[in-house]
Amino acid sequence: MHAAVVSSFDAVPEYRRFENPVPTGPHDLVVDVLASGLHPRVRSQADGSHYTSTDELPLIPGIDGVGRGADGTLRYFILPDTTRGSMAERTVIDVRRSIVLPADADPIAIAAAMNPAMSSWVALRRRTAFDPASNVLILGATGSAGRMAVQVARLLGAACIVAAGRNESSLAELVELGATSTVLLDMTDDEAAAATARRLGAASADVDVVIDYLWGEPTAAAMVAVVSARADRSRPLTWIEIGSVAGVEAPIPSAVLRASRLQIVGSGQGSVPTADIVAELPALVEAISAGAFAIHARAVPLADVATAWAAPSVGTERVVFTP
């Protein structure tokens, strides 16, 4: 078969022949891959920087996708940590980490949207007791996952949705998708950072849940701003760490944890059991198939993987490879 193959962590994957995948366990199933998304997690897998990475090469990248089994059934699947990923003509899935899709499901839309949408969907449904009337702050709302988080929060019934990000034009689009207010994060100098903290505090003083894609210094600053602005410091505040586009470590002052009912949790594979993630997938597929979310997807033939991988990303468009 053909696959995208990483032979060096310093180089983009190349399209070449690779041995066919072989099922080894009782729950393994070989599927023809129809679509596989180029998510940030896949890039970190391919450059060896993800915390689950080993030195093992060559590897086929790809953590999820849509495939068809020999019986003709269409499935969305999430792969376990593996060096034989989904960016190939065929891959081995564990059926327990997959769900059957309706026959008319759009593989490109599903492959593009599931990973970014799942981040907030699973966080709100599995990492906090989300009350539909809650107020939500989305920190780093201008990427694919943040944009989805606005729409997920709206669909799940959030009362106020504050979208915060550094890209002014993207923030304006988020209002059309359900954000009730936006905050521009400008950290260019101390004055700009202080004004950002004031804006964020004013907009987010009574949020109940924070969906955080940033971490790093911006998260530490935002935590201080939100906690300091709270009218009622005994009001529970659940800060859900999901991404780390602004830094893998954050210098969080201890006082924010003493001065408020702040609790910090994470959401992702590991902090949410795989069975719980899989249990959430059908409802999410249903929402995607019903057109509940605006999805920016671009299908690219897998044969063009090297060019597409190296090309600069275009807004929140998610590249989906079609073997």
Residues that bind ligand NAP (CB under 6 A): 39-41, 115-116, 119, 140, 142-146, 165-167, 170, 185, 213-214, 218, 242-246, 267-268, 316
Q: How many Å apart are CA 170 and CA 142, to the nearest integer?
A: 6
Query: Which of 85, 218 has the CB closer to ligand NAP?
Result: 218
State the minimum distance, in angstroms, from the CB of residue 93 to ligand NAP.
Answer: 19
State the minimum distance, in angstroms, from the CB of residue 43 to ligand NAP.
Answer: 9
State the minimum distance, in angstroms, from the CB of residue 238 to ligand NAP.
Answer: 15
Query: Which of 40, 107 has the CB closer to ligand NAP?
Result: 40
State the minimum distance, in angstroms, from the CB of residue 284 to ligand NAP.
Answer: 12
Residue 56: name the closest of 45, 40, 42, 41 by CA.
45
State the minimum distance, in angstroms, from the CB of residue 315 to ligand NAP.
Answer: 8
Collect all residues with Cβ–Cβ distance below 8 Å to 260 and sequence separation of at least 6. Answer: 227, 230, 233, 234, 237
- What are residue 149's DSSP bridge partners? none
Type of residue found at 270: G
Query: Which of 75, 318 has the CB closer to ligand NAP?
Result: 318
Check if the beta carbon of residue 119 is closer than 8 Å to that of residue 151.
no
Query: Which of 69, 268 has the CB closer to ligand NAP?
Result: 268
Measured from each CB, the residue nearest to ligand NAP is 143
**Helices and strands, counts by H and E, the chain:** 9, 15
Distances (CA, A) of 81 to 163, 202, 226: 32, 42, 36
Query: Which of 29, 305 has the CB closer to ligand NAP?
Result: 305
- What are residue 275's DSSP bridge partners? none
